[in-house]
Structure 1
């Protein structure tokens, strides 16, 4: 069917799961505290604006807002109406947004008419404008539509139902090592994407964990956010943020810092060591996908690089690929049996599942296996070797008519020096045929390194 299934009946989950609790309890610090009573009032006001612009139960709202209190209020208000939230990263171009709007046909678009605070602000001060777009119902029964990060190619359109979101929020409450009621999450990833959205915003609202984004995305600002309150704090981020903190010298003790948890790509061992050596707290790992949310965790860093499946999630290995339980097709449009079939999501990640412990080890993308002169080479291994070299701050290794390495460096590394270091560590058939040194590697909006060959070539040129 089109539109949300029984939208009037399902809309109550926002009040029951996310907005319940004493009015005076602080749920957000931006850095001024926002209590639940204030948030409920702002959600109600946003609801009135959107219904006045034409939003109806079963319709869709396109949210093109940067992380802000306005974003939170309009997102929750969309669901409270019984609508579908289409999350458009505010960094997308007008061309990309227009394509998404014409494909998804929202009834209402919410975009900034004024914003301030600068590019490095994590949360910004936004005045939202609400405008009518179409009179069509949503094209699917999902509560949220997200565009994948597209690190290896074009973005996918992914939908998740309200039931699925609630199940994941409750799954977080069963994971040992996540922030607990009365504690704080220092949120670094964007709430447009799954880690910041569910692992940060929705879980924090449900569990009574204060969400405290730093004022700016700098190491000093993150540490200042940790030190701002006396309650225990978990930093939630991606590997880029680990490197940022590992290179930041604290101004004093940080007894409030409980751990850092990272999602996204694998963390290079050298970066993980640098972080734990500096702060002396666990560096937890979380593996997930936009399609299903959190899949597995190792929040104490005991099994690195392996993770344990999250409660209620089944992971199996099929011909070297990891498959994850996913009851319904998460993709908007026709189901691709190579991506999802019969209740299983094909992750396209290579990995193994230990039959005795159930621990899952991710080996990298399936397309990282290449043949050089009849010999198998795992590009993930080559990339890990490059990334671990002195002077290298990040690396991407791809197949481009041969093994090619794109290397972000600290300014002192030369191509000849890099080649000599690799010759000492890798067999000749494994060594990159082309080396490209860059001051900055391209990243997706979620902070992942871009692995698309055309994008990497463009960064070089």
Structure 2
């Protein structure tokens, strides 16, 4: 089964699939462009193909083409540093890169991969989302065609997106394409692509093109809530907030500004969209609601949230672990701490690990600390999240110098991080300290 073939088979070719920069692209035109690109990509010997392309029509065309050609799509986020890019290519076994112009460049595959290519191929993989693990250990999350179809179908039982909907798109496609854009295309909706980061431009695109659904992070919702023109958004029926904890003030401001409550959801790349606050989003904006119809949730004795449902990830790529090896029975251990209230609504209380959400993008302190400790002048580093009114949180670093008499320069620390990390992961502050707190077992205390 190929999920893109399913999208193309069921599409109304006369309907509008995409709107970008005022131009409309029908499903028929999208299919023609993607099929032409897929014919070229299918001839590649590479099994995994990376897409290095910014948001836009080209990203949609080429991502569909890679998957339609029977290749496994590996998105390359634009904010990655050169070292991070090389790591993604190496650890996912990418053999070719497609850029935004549709140009294809072959790259050498590592002699030794951390996984069995035959075992990966047996899963019928459609997509690998590379991420950092909670301990800084890199891994790729593998989703098969079957799992993608199952999860977007399950998610839409809550979202209810259909041909009459026009979804305003403001998130990075490299992070969200496979699970979100494919859902919209599979169900015949129109996606309005707005690349401006200015609230007035997003609102103009939404009202000009009759946007009905908004799917974004609290950062985007706060920006739109503060938009000062007073213009209404008359066709908006559903506004979903995900990727980071929704602040109460943002929820209230957005509802007051547009008359539509923000429905907070929990999106997890390993699971999909299992939780969405559709019933009591105005009364309980801080809740992620109840499980969607196909999912189940449990909060176990230590307060940790477990989820069960369709479309679970198929494997961790590096180190290789299949879904069966990771799940506890049929349950996925999310790492979130939560409680369930008297109405059955779930409230997230925090993470059992230390992820920092920066404007909807996740970074892990352990990864940043590992980079800092590569510098010979650094004995130990601790990175924590600092609340930020605009971005939600930002990373700050505490540095224990190897030689207190000759400590590293702050400018050198910042420059080294900029060369090794995506921009949003670079600490906004560096503090020289004598020591950082440790647990009794010698681990950094957060």
Instruction: Give the TM-score range, shorter chain.
Output: 0.7 to 0.9
Q: Where in structure 2 are the equivalents of 1:230-241 lying within 5 Å?
A: 231-241=210-220
Q: Distance in 1 between the 2:79 and 2:383 partners?
A: 31
Aligned to 1:21: 11
Aligned mate of 1:36, from 27, 42, 47: 27
Unpaired stretches in structure 1, ≥5 consecutive residues: 1-9, 112-125, 369-378, 384-395, 411-441
SS in 2 for 1:33: strand
Aligned to 1:221: 201
Measured on the aligned residues, the alpha-carbon RMSD in Å equals 3.6
Retained in 1: the 8 A contact 2:248–2:285?
A: no
**Deviation at 1:225?**
1.1
Aligned mate of 2:265, from 276, 283, 286: 286
Aligned to 1:107: 95
SS in 1 for 2:173: coil
**Deviation at 1:259?**
3.4
SS in 2 for 1:143: strand
Unpaired stretches in structure 2, ≥5 consecutive residues: 111-116, 358-362, 367-379, 391-416, 434-446
**Which structure is richer in relative contact order (CA contacts within 8 A, separation 6 or more)?**
2
Aligned mate of 2:328, from 341, 349, 354: 341
SS in 2 for 1:164: helix
Retained in 1: the 8 A contact 2:184–2:191?
A: yes
Say if 1:282 and 1:96 are closer, same or farther in 2 by CA, change over 3 A. Answer: same
**Deviation at 1:106?**
2.1
SS in 1 for 2:153: helix
Q: Distance in 2 between the 1:402 and 1:53 partners?
A: 44
Say if 1:209 and 1:409 are closer, same or farther in 2 by CA, change over 3 A. Answer: closer
**Deviation at 1:19?**
5.4
Q: Distance in 2 between the 1:155 and 1:460 partners?
A: 28
**Deviation at 1:282?**
1.8
Aligned to 2:388: 408
Aligned to 2:351: 365
Say if 1:138 and 1:358 are closer, same or farther in 2 by CA, change over 3 A. Answer: farther
Aligned to 1:182: 164
**Deviation at 1:164?**
0.9
Q: Distance in 2 between the 1:324 and 1:330 partners?
A: 17
SS in 2 for 1:148: strand
**Number of matched residues?**
366
**Deviation at 1:458?**
4.2
Q: Distance in 1 between the 2:119 and 2:8 partners?
A: 25
Aligned to 1:3: none
| TM superposition score normalised by structure 1 | 0.70
Aligned to 2:299: 317
Retained in 2: the 8 A contact 1:193–1:290?
A: no
Aligned to 1:211: 191
